[in-house]
Structure formats: structure tokens, C-alpha cells
A and B are shown apart, each in its own frame.
Chain A
Amino acid sequence: MSIIGTSVQRKEARNKVSGRARYTNDLTIPGTWHAVVVPARQAHAHILSIDTEKAKQIAGVKAVITGDDVSVLTGDVIEDRPPLAKDKVRYWGEPIALIVARDEATAQRAAGMITVRYRPLPVINSIGDGIADNAALVHEKNGGYKVATPPAYPKKQTNIADEANVEKGDVERAWPGSDITVDIHVSLPQIDHAAMEPRVAKAEILPDGRVLIHCSSQAPFEVRKLIAKYFKLNPGQVVVEVPLVGGAFGGKSSVQLEVLAYIASKAVGGRVVKIVNTRETDMASCPGGMGLEADISLAARQDGHLLAAKMRFYMDIGAYTDSAPRVARAIAAQCTGPYHIANLHTDVFCVYTNHTYTTALRGFGHMPMTFAVERAMDELAQKLNMDPLRLREINALKPGQLTPTKARLTESNLGHLPLTIYKMRELIGWKQGKVERVGEHRVRVQGVAAFWKTSSSPPNAISGAIITMNSDGSVNLSIGAVEFGPATKTTAAQILAAQLRIPLDKVFVHEDVNTHVDPEHWKTVASMSTYMVGRAVIDAANDIINQLKSLGAAVLRCSPDDLDFGDEKVYVRDDPSIALKFSQLALGYKYKEGDSIGGQLIGRGRFMIRHLNLLDQQTGKGRPGPAWTVGVQAVEVEYDQNTHQYRILKAASVVDAGRVINPAAARGQLMGGMNMGLGVASREGIHYGHDGQFLNNQFRSYRVMRVGEQADEYLIDFVETPQIDAPFGARPLGEHGILAIGAALANALSRAAGVPLNTLPITPEAIWRARRHQS
């Protein structure tokens, strides 16, 4: 039986459950000093002075660094963020000083001694504040910063950091021809990634000039690139090591703490300095997930066919851009959801606010975007009195049609949404969205929503794999993708085992990533590791197979073409009894007489994304990713009409996975994604006070779903329409469980409560408020 399609335990599972797995903060080099971030306690204010004297006098304090000591500006796309606030602070929690001390307690004590004098400025505390006429500017220099990674189109003298547009067909001409229209406004708060392991970074600068960084990151190669760039170092000088990561969800794709650790180390002569976030700092000072407001208008025929759509998305990106322009383009490119809409006009705006800045969060903007579109779709279904799954089915994109950015769709790059809908009917026991009475005040109802997503990766994203063979014919695999939970390394090992036709336990994967020895991988994001790493692994496996055959051919005195392989041997195709074990070739072949040929077998493989391009700024035309993953999700709730309390009975997903490589891992990813999405939709959200203070930067007040509060049942099924250019046809599915499940919950509860629920999170109070507002 092939290892592909077989549930296997992840390679590091036993270490993790026994507490022996090692994370960044688990190893401390003796002599390590600690740095602590001093956070701003104003959301928008001029810094008049920072008094560091008292802190410096504390015994054990080695350095106190402020924005005046650092001249670089950082940012993935737009370089708008000083590592330490300079002249003004733009969010509550922004790092304004860094204390380096002999131990953490001393640094924390000293941090409490820093006094800052501020002159408060008007706080941009919402998207509405940000886009109001004559709004205070979060960045006076907006439009003047360097755009490090185009495209980005900041608007001078505004709080618009960037805008992306998509134009298709002719909306104005199509609109009057419709029978029915819906308009909705949705509003979603900023949220936190809530990874179990808070961010941590260590830096040291060696006398030979090398910079060693250890960090909990999804992007070790990005850390290397940016540290080298900001501090004018040779990239080879910077060595970044990332062990296992304790959850990431996009929050560790951004480079922040690593820069602070470098600055701290530099200030103390290059000694090892460690920064370990507290939960409070991790939430308020480091980037979270964006908030969103959107206006969606759909026009359709009486039979449910969509004719046109107008959409405006406003992202609450917080005080700095980070990856927001990329997210904006991802939203623009997929704004219709997996539906064919011939006439479309969409604008996406990145709005600066005095909130904590934001970065990628599981789904890269697709979760909030999908919420907006799928709420509109459900309102349309209700207006049409139509089965909501049927409405989605008849509008599903098909091969041959064009995406919003006019990328051409094929069966391979799109998959099969109607088939997932077909399977969902059975999986959840579909009742057409009808409200079913189960008690005096209690009803049960199902809600659905569909999604699609592609990678929105840069057109030059790369990956690599290196295989070395051991004396027994087993192999070591080195890749540049980090392991933060989804069994990335195990999947890569499965692909290699399948390709070399060897048992999985003969594949050893390098668990850590070290930029000095592992081949470069763009970033471990966008659910792209199976695709990109997998392709590189296949390439490397083929390389090693060629080497096995070519050395085998020399020994067996035949052509490499005469040889096939399997069962850890190369053998003559027409007479398998003439064979050599991999172990006889792994470190070179030794003849009876003792003389030898070959050497260690080392396979190398690489992969580069092809045929992608950046979106045209006027029309949005472009190809945002190699392929899409489509799927449909559903929720069944029981709702009390008197108290507005509800319980999630079932949460279900059917995803076109292309090919499921590790069923247990795939189900785990989807289940986790659904649970996270339901948590976001039902209870999560950052609260900012009237002055912009981050009010809930602890888990006692920032509520995530806890054990016992989850849905009663999680149901998962797959459709397998192969993506031809992907390893074994497998499509990405790491993020996807989160994408539409929140919309499905909102759709179910909107039906149950008889009122549109377009604001997250949907707490019983939110339902109560919406119903009161309606009556």
C-alpha cells in the first residue's frame, strides 16, 4: 500500500506529547542576557521625553535603548515602522524602549522605571475615524515612505496606506437588468493569532562578524534577508535557526522581535540577548489580525444567477502596513468567493488606525472577506426563498471561466465545488436551511458557506530540498519549511518515501531550519508547503534515483535505462535478481577487491512558482496563485429564542483536497481550522478603549474557545480532483478549515434569530442587540 493516502503519525509526535520537543526558549546558553520591551501607554501621542535614568541605575541593567538610538525603518512592503517608536507613538503597546539586563526580572523592574512624557493626539480608533474628512494622520509621511516590495499605492495626506481594485465587465450596465439585489454591511474586529507559544527571539553577534538569530518564526529566510538589509550585512553573515514552533497562524511570518533582539545584542557588544514575549506583549505589541468593514451589493436574476457585484472592503490594518498590501490584493483577487460574477467592481482599502498593527492570519484575508460575501449570498438566498446550497451550486465557478482578476480556470487549478456541495448535503443531513422547532423557545437550523483560496504568493517564490543517504540506504531530508503543527515535515517525508519507494521510517527529516545549511524556502505560509516543498522533494528524489541508477549501471555493467528500483534496491528491469541494495551504493560501491567508486549520494531539488504575476493596479488583471482550493462548510445550531444563547451541534467541511496525503493530519487541520473559525466568529475580538487602549491582552479577557465549548460534532469529507502540477495531485488545505465556518455560523444564527447578523463576534448579546435594533 502506498504511503500516500495513509494516515501516519507525525514524526515529532512522541517528543511533543512527552514534553521533550524543543522550542526556541527551551535552550539557554549560559551568559545570555535578557531584553524587555517597554510598551507605549498612549495610542497616539507625540513623545516629548523618555526618562531612562532611573532604569539605568538599577544594578544589572546593561543598556537602555530608545528610538533615538535606532535609525532604520522596517516593513515587508512599505518601510513605515521604526523598531522602537520615534517622535510619536501610534498604538498602545508600541515598543518605545528596550531594556537589556543580566536577567529578566531586572529588565522587567527597570522597564517599570521608564517614564515617558507624551502630548496626546486625536486617536484614530476605528476605520470610520480613519477615513473621515480631516482625520488626524497616523502617518504624516504617508506616501513618502520607501515601498520596498511593490505594488503599494499609499495616498498622501490620508490614512489610506494602500488600495487595490478589481474591475470586470460593466457593473453599471448589468445592474438594471437584475430582478433582485441585496446590500449588506459587515463589521469584524481585529483579532489575535493566540498561538500557544508567544514569540521569542535570541540574537548574538560573534567577533567574526556572524550574526546568529534563534527565533520562533515562519520565515527564517525572510528574517535573514531583512536583518541583512536593515543593518547592511552580507546575507551569508546572518544565520537564522528555527526549531519547532508552537503555533503560528501567520503571526510569525512577520519580522519584528528578531530586529529588536539584534539591536539589543548590538548595544551590549554582541552578547547573546533573548527577548521572550509575555502574553500581554505578544498581543498588544506584536502584530495581530486585521479588522474589516465591508459593503457588499449583489445583483441577481430571479432564478438565482448572479449578474453583478459591487464591493468595498476597508481593512483596519492598525498603525503600520506590514503585509497589508498583499492581503488587500488577495481579497481583491478572490472577492467574489467561488462564484462566477461577470460584472464586478471592487475596491479594497488599507486604513491606518491607532490600533496594534496587523499581519497575515490563517487565511490571509480570506476569512473576513468570505464572511462578507457569504453573508450577502445567504441574504440573497433568503430573499429568493431558495435553498442556500442550491444558490451556491448554480453560481459555482467552472473550468473555462475567469476569476475576478481574469485568470483562466481549469479543472486542475480550480477543483470541483459542486461535488463538495453534493457531499455536504449527505454529510450534515441537509434541511435546506429551514428552521426546525425543537422546544417551546428552541429551534435548530443549519447554515452553509463556501470558500476558495489561492496562495497570493510572490511570483518568484522558491523552495528546495537536499537529501543525503546513510550507509543503510535510509535518507536524511533537509528542507527550509518550519514545523509549527500541520505535519509539514512528515508530509515531506511521506512524499520522499513514496518517490523513493522506501518505508517512511527510513526517512529522517531535519526538524529545525537553519538558513546556513537548509535550502531556501520562501516562507512557511499560505498552505503552500506541500506544493512547493513537495515539488522540490520530488525533484531531489529524482536526482538521487538518477545517481542510484547511474552508479548501479556502472557496477552491474548495463545502461541506467535498464534499471528500475524498489524495495530499497536497484535492479535490472527484465531480471530483478540482478540487483544492488541502496545500502551498497549509499556511500559509494566497494568492489570485492576493495577498490571503490561513487561517494555519498546527495540529491538536490528545487522548485520555483511559475506563471504568476502582480495584479494590474487599474484593472486588477493578474494571476495570484498556481491553483485554488474550494470547499463548503456548514454549521448546525440550537438556539434559544428567549435568551439568545446557542449551542453549536455540528460543524462540517467538505474540501476538494486534490489528493489527501495524510488523512489523519488533513482531518486534524480542518478540525482545528473549524474550531478556530468558530471561536473567532462566536467570541474573539480585540477591545479598544475610547482612548485606543488595548483592553484585553490576556486570555482571561481575550476569549478563545476552550475545551468543552467546542461544537458537539466535527464532520469532514473530501473530494479529490487532482491538481496536476502538485505532488500526487494534493491541493493546499492548511488554512482552509477556518475560511467559511464563521460565515456558516452567522448564516445559521441569522435564520434562527430572524435577523441579519453581520457583526462579529456573534455573542448572545450581539443577537439580542440586533433583534432589539430591528424591532
Chain B
Amino acid sequence: MIPLSLRYYRADSVDEALELFHKISHEHGKPIFYGGGTEILTRARVQDIDVDAVIDLKGIPALKIHQDKGGRLEFGAALHLTDVAEKNLWPLLTATADRVADHTSRGQITLGGNLLSILPYREAILPFLISDSATARVAGPNGVRTRPFSELFDETLRLSPGEFLISAGVDQDEALGPRFKSRKMTRIDWIDYPLVTVVVTRNPRGAIRAAFSGWTTYPFSSPRIDRALSDGKRSPEERAKEALHHMPAPAVSDIHGSREYREFVTEYTLAGMLRELEDTP
């Protein structure tokens, strides 16, 4: 039960959504863009969100784009995580997106909602963080722009009030070229928030890239970590240990696990993934 009074709007186009947001804000309303609604619902029922209008974006065709065209993979922000997994255009994205929450929730959660979640995990973002060609199409008061992920991402995708994500894309070559591993490590359960989720890719030349979620309050990747992991002269265990020295922030301690335990889990997980990626031809 949501104790808030909410007005519901469904936008049929990007422009209509932008206009609605502008109009409601102008009339001193507190609008929020709405995709799957799982976070709005769970926060609203405990009165942890201050909104009075939702603008549903799921009816906008551009947000449902889901294609492999002209060497680019495009994923609309309103795709459900189960859609992404079922079509499986980008197996690495499937691997991360398909481990969020449980199947029932993934049928509700949208890709955009996960990428822009207020929770620290946002695991579907990890593949984009280690893809140089990743871009985001963002709609805002100044129109629609396509920008590199790297420009927009600083701990989270930095969207301004009134902006929303239309879709995210990546070059097919970059996405499908490298071999990859993805592991979600939890306290004990299959379905839980991650202690750490690790994504590792290895291109044919042996260069390693890695991205992490759950370690700290935001997902991240780092060239320094990638360099440490790519040093083929050292054993996977040594490289994993070294990588932990280059994390951008200390591991968090919370009810899922302590800082020290996160370090332990991340280290052996990373070492095991490197070994698997490099052992098999």
C-alpha cells in the first residue's frame, strides 16, 4: 500500500515526457520518471521518497529499442531485465543483468531503472563500464544527445533533473570480441545483494578489463586495476592480490559482510576468474 497521493502520466513520446516533467515541475509538483517502478513502490510504501507524480516511460517506442544494427547493439531503457536476458544480444550484459534480484522482479525492473538505481549495485552497468564504445542516449530539456558512457559516468550516470535515459549502446565488435566471466558473490544465498559482483573480460591479445559492484557504494572499473590484472608474467593469485591495492575506495562493511571478508572473497573470485579465462583456449 502506497500512502502517497500520486498522479500517473503515461508519455507516448520523448517530447511528451519532457513536456510533462517541465509542466509538473513548473506547477510545483514533484515528478519522477517511471520505468519498472520497483524502487518507487518499495520506497513509497515506507515513505522514503518525496514525489507526487510519476511519468511512465514504458510506452515510448525509443525506450523499447532492442537491436543489433549497423555494428551497434542498442538497448532501450524501458526493456525489462528479462527481455535483455531472453534476447541475449550481449551475453556479458545478460550475465550481469540476469543475476539482479529474482526472476519475478527482473520481469518488472527495467534496464534504465537498474542503471540509474539509487542502490549501490546497478550490476547491469558493469559491461558498459569496460566498453570504450559504450554510449548513452539521454533526453533532456536541451534535446536528445548521445554521449560516451565515460563522460556521463562518475560513480553513477550523471543525469540532471528532467533528463532521462533513452537507450544505451555499444559496438558489436567490442561487445562480442573478448572472452568474459561474470560472478556474483553473495553472503550465502543465490538471490541476495552482492558482496561483490565481478566482471572480467580478456581480449585476444590478453588484455584484461574488470569492473566491480558491491565493493563500495558505487560500481566502478579502473585502468590501474586493468593494468595490474593484465600483467601476464604474474600468477592469477598475485595479480588478484595486486588489483586489490588499486581499488578506488575501501570495501564497505555492512550486514552482508565485513570489509575484510569482501577483500577475501574478491581476491579469490578474481583469481579464479583469471585462471578460467586464461586456462581454456
Q: Are A and B genuine complex partners?
A: yes
Q: With A105-B3, A112-B3, A768-B261 in contact, do A763 and B268 touch (Cβ < 8 Å)?
A: no
B275 close to chain A: CB less than 8 A = no
* Contact (Cβ within 8 A) B187 A683: yes
Q: Which of A695, A700, A764, A769 contacts B188 (CB 8 A)?
A: A764
Q: With A105-B3, A703-B188, A709-B190 in contact, do A695 and B255 touch (Cβ < 8 Å)?
A: yes
Residue of A nearest to B191 (CB): A706
Which of B2, B188, B255, B264 has most chain A Cβ within 10 Å?
A: B188
* Contact (Cβ within 8 A) B187 A703: yes
Report the Cα distance A695→B189, complex, angstroms.
Answer: 18
B192 close to chain A: CB less than 8 A = yes
Tell me how far the C-beta of A686 lies from the nearest C-beta in chain B, rounded to whole angstroms: 10
Tell me how far the C-beta of B41 lies from the nearest C-beta in chain A, rounded to whole angstroms: 13
Q: Which of B1, B190, B264 contacts A108 (CB 8 A)?
A: B1
Contact digits for B2-27, partner A, Cβ 8 Å, 1 yes 0 no: 11100000000000000000000000
CB contacts (< 8 Å) of A769 on chain B: these are: 261
Report the Cα distance A769→B47, complex, angstroms.
Answer: 37
Q: With A280-B46, A695-B255, A701-B255 in contact, do A104 and B1 touch (Cβ < 8 Å)?
A: yes
Report the Cα distance A700→B46, complex, angstroms.
Answer: 14
* Contact (Cβ within 8 A) A763 B188: yes
* Contact (Cβ within 8 A) A278 B45: yes
Report the Cα distance A687→B4, complex, angstroms.
Answer: 29
Residue of A nearest to B105 (CB): A700
Tell me how far the C-beta of B265 lies from the nearest C-beta in chain A, rounded to whole angstroms: 8
CB under 8 Å from chain B, chain A span 535-549: none
Report the Cα distance A695→B253, complex, angstroms.
Answer: 14
Contact digits for B233-266, partner A, Cβ 8 Å, 1 yes 0 no: 0000000000000000000000101100100110
* Contact (Cβ within 8 A) B257 A642: no
CB contacts (< 8 Å) of A709 on chain B: these are: 189-191
CB contacts (< 8 Å) of B190 on chain A: these are: 706, 708-709
Report the Cα distance A763→B189, complex, angstroms.
Answer: 10
Residue of B nearest to A34 (CB): B1
CB contacts (< 8 Å) of B191 on chain A: these are: 706, 708-709
* Contact (Cβ within 8 A) B47 A703: no
Count chain B residues whose beta carbon lies closer than 8 angstroms to a beta carbon of A: 21
CB contacts (< 8 Å) of A278 on chain B: these are: 45
Tell me how far the C-beta of A550 lies from the nearest C-beta in chain B, rounded to whole angstroms: 58
Contact digits for B158-190, partner A, Cβ 8 Å, 1 yes 0 no: 000000000000000000000000000001111
Report the Cα distance A206→B3, complex, angstroms.
Answer: 30
CB contacts (< 8 Å) of B255 on chain A: these are: 687, 695-696, 701
Q: With A703-B192, A765-B257, A769-B261 in contact, do A105 and B187 touch (Cβ < 8 Å)?
A: no
CB contacts (< 8 Å) of B46 on chain A: these are: 280
Tell me how far the C-beta of A736 lies from the nearest C-beta in chain B, rounded to whole angstroms: 25
Tell me how far the C-beta of A34 lies from the nearest C-beta in chain B, rounded to whole angstroms: 10
* Contact (Cβ within 8 A) A765 B261: yes
Tell me how far the C-beta of B170 lies from the nearest C-beta in chain A, rounded to whole angstroms: 31
Tell me how far the C-beta of B229 lies from the nearest C-beta in chain A, rounded to whole angstroms: 20
Report the Cα distance A402→B193, complex, angstroms.
Answer: 50
Residue of A nearest to B3 (CB): A108
Report the Cα distance A756→B86, complex, angstroms.
Answer: 45
Contact digits for B121-150, partner A, Cβ 8 Å, 1 yes 0 no: 000000000000000000000000000000
CB under 8 Å from chain B, chain A span 429-447: none
Report the Cα distance A709→B189, complex, angstroms.
Answer: 7
Report the Cα distance A769→B263, complex, angstroms.
Answer: 13
Contact digits for A624-642, partner B, Cβ 8 Å, 1 yes 0 no: 0000000000000000001
A210 close to chain B: CB less than 8 A = no
Which of B3, B4, B187, B261 has most chain A Cβ within 10 Å?
A: B3
A321 close to chain B: CB less than 8 A = no
Q: With A682-B188, A683-B188, A765-B187 in contact, do A643 and B268 touch (Cβ < 8 Å)?
A: yes
A109 close to chain B: CB less than 8 A = yes
Report the Cα distance A278→B46, complex, angstroms.
Answer: 10
Report the Cα distance A105→B192, complex, angstroms.
Answer: 30
CB contacts (< 8 Å) of A643 on chain B: these are: 265, 268
Closest 6 CB pairs of A and B: A108-B3, A105-B3, A765-B261, A687-B255, A109-B3, A763-B188
Besides A109-B47, A703-B188, 11 other CB < 8 A contacts? Answer: A105-B4, A108-B47, A109-B3, A278-B45, A682-B188, A687-B255, A708-B191, A709-B191, A763-B187, A764-B188, A768-B261
10 A-B residue pairs with Cβ-Cβ distance under 8 Å, sorted by A, are: A104-B1, A104-B3, A105-B4, A109-B3, A683-B187, A683-B188, A683-B189, A701-B255, A703-B188, A763-B188
**Interface of B with A (CB < 8 Å)?**
1-4, 45-47, 187-193, 255, 257-258, 261, 264-265, 268
**Interface of A with B (CB < 8 Å)?**
104-106, 108-109, 112, 278, 280, 642-643, 682-683, 687, 695-696, 700-701, 703, 706, 708-709, 763-765, 768-769
